[in-house]
Structure 1
Amino acid sequence: MSPHPQISRTHNLFHLRHGLLSEVSGALGDVGTLLPLLVALTLTSSVSLSSSLVFGGLANILTGLVFGVPLPVQPMKAIAAVAISQSFSPAATASAGLFVSGVVMVAAVTGALRWFAGVVPIPVVKGIQVGAGLSLVMSAGKTLQPLHLSRPWADNLIWSISAFILLCTTIRATRFPYALIIFLAGITLAAILTCIHPGGVLPAPRIWHPRVVIPLPEDIRNGVLMAGIGQLPLTTLNSIVAVEHLARDLLPEHPSPGITSLGISVGAANLVGCWFGSMPICHGSGGLAAQWRFGARSGTSVVILGLFKLVLGLVFGDSLVDLLTRFPKALLGVMVFAAGLELARAGQSLNHDARDLWEDAGNEEFGDQGVRESLIQGQMRRVGNKDLKDEERSERWMVMTTTMGALLAFRNDGVGFAAGMLTHWSFQLLKRWRTRSH
């Protein structure tokens, strides 16, 4: 899937040798999104925790080695939300994941996914990124609001305030292992709570025994209609298109994964794992922003995370549930909050450093060879920005904010996308009308 395996390998080895602590911290940056959904899906018996850890870990390892960037492996959130609220069976959850992955895989292989990404304007993509970031911030707020100032002792606002102060004081130190420190503190508190609780059960060896899930017609109908269709726009827009753009913005020095490769990655992971009761997974711009924010700069981070998840799934499996359910929400909420802010920052480059404003690399400095290299890498060289008129800046800002606003108002990426595209097309039609009238 990667046209640059040697570049990815060299990039990973460099950061393994020179920034291991930062990579480990970055690997844990997306824990705030992963843990709550994975535990909730396990408690409703909608997925197998062991299979989710095993196949999620394998997906982490393969994407890290192939792409060389800290691509997250996240739950498919729309499917997870419906599966939790409706107490889906593993077969119904698998049906939803298989449907979405099959559609994405076909679109990737046929080139339809690349065409779609090519016609989506940058302001709409930025709007989806900012909207997704603010959605994470709002989600963090819901997690933190029920907490009290001093009780219970291991999960209260004092822990949240302390974690937030540490976040603020290290905001400029992007290589500070913040996520690692918060995770270790949280897992320590969770272990203490598990030990002192009368019915608490600490993790114990429980070797994974894979079981195949065979959906029945009723499972397929419920999974596809109730969860799969709603997940499609979220996966396409936030897990593929937005991720491809964000990877180029955050790591411009490294070839970013292409639209087709991302689609195949999402499709392949689920078309294998879902048959064994694994949680439907995808990539996500929020997870990428979180892992970058907490120190990840290469695929090394997700390879380390993948190995960790793989060992846990193979050796401990479902015995981890009691421990994970007691991880303090006070710390998870702050991590999600920080990830949301980092993703929302993507909108600040809309009118001065967005990719559609970069000048063509085909000039005297780089020549035709520079153009070919840019095309091969799927990136434009930053040789200058195109100047925009005030009216153009205003229009781009309106398209982005409309996309973001509709996404937040309806809590649906598809609605945000439709609103942004309609706004964009309206401006384009107005420009054509003015041109013809003159």
Structure 2
Amino acid sequence: MTAQTFRQITAHNLKTFRRNYVSEISGSLGDLGTFLPIAIALAINGTVSLSSTLIFSGLFNILTGLFFGIPLPVQPMKAIAAVAIARSFHNGTIAAAGIFVGACIFLFSITGLLRWFADVIPIPVIKGIQVGAGLSLVIASCGNILSSLGWIRPSWADNLIWAIAAFIFLLVTNVYRKVPYALIVFILGVVFAVIRSALAADLPSFALWRPYVVVPTPRQWSEGALDAGIGQIPLTTLNSIVAVVHLASDLIPNVRTPSITAIGLSVAGMNLVGCWFGAMPVCHGSGGLAAQYRFGARSGASVIFLGILKLVIGIFFGESLVGLLKRFPSSLLGVMVIAAGLELLSVGESLNTTGARDIMKANFGLLGDQRQDIAPMLSDDDRRKRWTVMMVTVGLLVGFKNDAIGFLAGMLCHYGYELPGLWEKVRRRWNGRIRLQ
């Protein structure tokens, strides 16, 4: 990154925050519906250090905001987290998984494999990954978070009544977008959590962070890498790097979109540093970007604010926050996750419009600084094929709960449609050689 680019990003961050600081602060909290439940679950089991997770994720929030200038989230690595929670991983095992994934992504980035991989994926498949991730968030929220709530249970501050109220409020803010939904809901949730913690005599206390180093044993290296790390690599590559770059370009076109390689190196660096200190393995995700954008974030200033908040809380309160965060209402978190999912679902709408990157490139191909109209608009048959490829990707991704399976299914569907054209090219080339002979 050049000094001029850094100055431009800094100017954009400052200008956006000064004009819309309420929206930026509200947007910064949009991804907490994903971050908090996983971080709390891992901290309760002793798998990660909550203070280290807050401090390092906060530091990474600040750095990504400074260098990328967009509300890029710092999210848990969900595949690793799911295995770690189910099997009660030791902190060395989850650290090994995160470091392994970070090392693989670093290798893919510096060799150019990541860039090549992103270039060969058709836009309908990328859109399918994004829409599938959004639908998965909605399903997970309804099935895992909200389904356990009753009309008046588990408490007066966390029940279906509050979930319905939060959802109605969300629908209202679809019309009045300037209302800082996430900020209002977060403050309400913190108030409820403080009251419940005070009644249980379990309020946070002052406790300075005491850093320590986690060194995995050989057995933890093999268990973490093989049982959790390998399954995370396709999810990180597809949803946290490729999809997030395309989504950033769609949502925030007025800001320079980070390159695939830059995002890959960012993901690698976060895990090659933080996991050694007991922090949760993290990545950048399209769901988090959609959530933060939905709730008002438009620049890196939003995540810089969030990062500073995490740093302060992690350094001075750390592990004592577990009890308070456990009492944050699931009803409110669940609706925030639904909002993120719905925002991500909406990107599928641009699949067959000039907003899609491949259509824009085809119709307005860049040649130096000149735009040339070099291709016609899509036919009805092309639209149907593209829609089918996207929905095959979505269906298999959601059905198997696996990004890699959805990706492979979408690619097979895409190349299935390409076979007649490829066969025709081969036939023509073969006939041409026969004539020359």
Task: Give TM-score, length-normalised by structure 2.
Answer: 0.94
Q: Is the CA contact (8 Å cut-off) linking 1:357 and 1:386 kept in structure 2?
A: no
Q: Deviations over 1:390-422 (max 9, x none)?
A: 111111111100011110011000111111111
Give distance in 1, aligned partners of 2:370 and 2:57: 38
Give distance in 2, aligned partners of 1:93 and 1:232: 14
1:10 positional shift? 1.4
Q: Is the CA contact (8 Å cut-off) linking 1:190 and 1:326 kept in structure 2?
A: yes
Report the secondary structure of 2:310's partner residue.
helix
Report the secondary structure of 1:416's partner residue.
helix
Q: Deviations over 1:294-326 (max 9, x none)?
A: 000000000000000001111100000000000
After the TM superposition, list the runs of 4 or more consecutive aligned residues in structure 1 that deviate by more than 4 angstroms: 359-363, 383-386, 434-438
Q: Is the CA contact (8 Å cut-off) linking 2:363 and 2:376 kept in structure 1?
A: no
- The yes-or-no answer on 1:138 pairing with 2:139 is yes
Give distance in 2, aligned partners of 1:281 and 1:367: 39
2:359 maps to which of 357, 360, 370: 357
Q: Is the CA contact (8 Å cut-off) linking 1:64 and 1:302 kept in structure 2?
A: yes
1:185 maps to which of 188, 193, 204: 188
Q: Is the CA contact (8 Å cut-off) linking 1:28 and 1:183 kept in structure 2?
A: yes
1:78 positional shift? 0.3
Number of the residue aligned with 2:413: 423
Give distance in 2, aligned partners of 1:269 and 1:203: 28
Q: Which amino acid aligns with 1:354?
A: A
Give distance in 1, aligned partners of 2:285 and 2:249: 14
- The yes-or-no answer on 1:368 pairing with 2:368 is yes
Q: Which amino acid aligns with 1:149?
A: W
Number of the residue aligned with 1:155: 158
1:408 maps to which of 398, 402, 426: 398
Q: Which amino acid aligns with 1:432?
A: L
Number of the residue aligned with 2:88: 87
- Mapping of residues 26-41 of structure 1, within 5 Å: 26-41=27-42
Q: Which amino acid aligns with 2:358?
A: D
1:360 positional shift? 6.2
Give distance in 2, aligned partners of 1:155 and 1:361: 51
The share of aligned pairs that are identical, in percent, is: 54
- Mapping of residues 59-98 of structure 1, within 5 Å: 59-98=60-99
Q: Which amino acid aligns with 1:224?
A: A
Q: Which amino acid aligns with 1:387?
A: M
Call closer, same or farther: CA 1:392–1:279 in 2, change over 3 Å. same
Q: Which amino acid aligns with 1:288?
A: L
Number of the residue aligned with 1:196: 199
1:173 positional shift? 2.8
Q: Name the stretch that deviates more: 56-65 or 385-394.
A: 385-394
1:61 positional shift? 0.1
Q: Which amino acid aligns with 1:81?
A: A
- Mapping of residues 96-175 of structure 1, within 5 Å: 96-142=97-143, 143-151=145-153, 152-175=155-178
1:367 positional shift? 7.4
Give distance in 2, aligned partners of 1:41 and 1:367: 51
Give distance in 2, aligned partners of 1:410 and 1:233: 14
Give distance in 2, aligned partners of 1:359 and 1:261: 22
Report the secondary structure of 1:4's partner residue.
helix
Give distance in 2, aligned partners of 1:174 and 1:256: 24
Call closer, same or farther: CA 1:398–1:409 in 2, change over 3 Å. same
Q: Which amino acid aligns with 1:397?
A: W
1:176 positional shift? 1.7
Larger radius of gyration: 2
Q: Is the CA contact (8 Å cut-off) linking 1:359 and 1:385 kept in structure 2?
A: no
Report the secondary structure of 2:129's partner residue.
helix
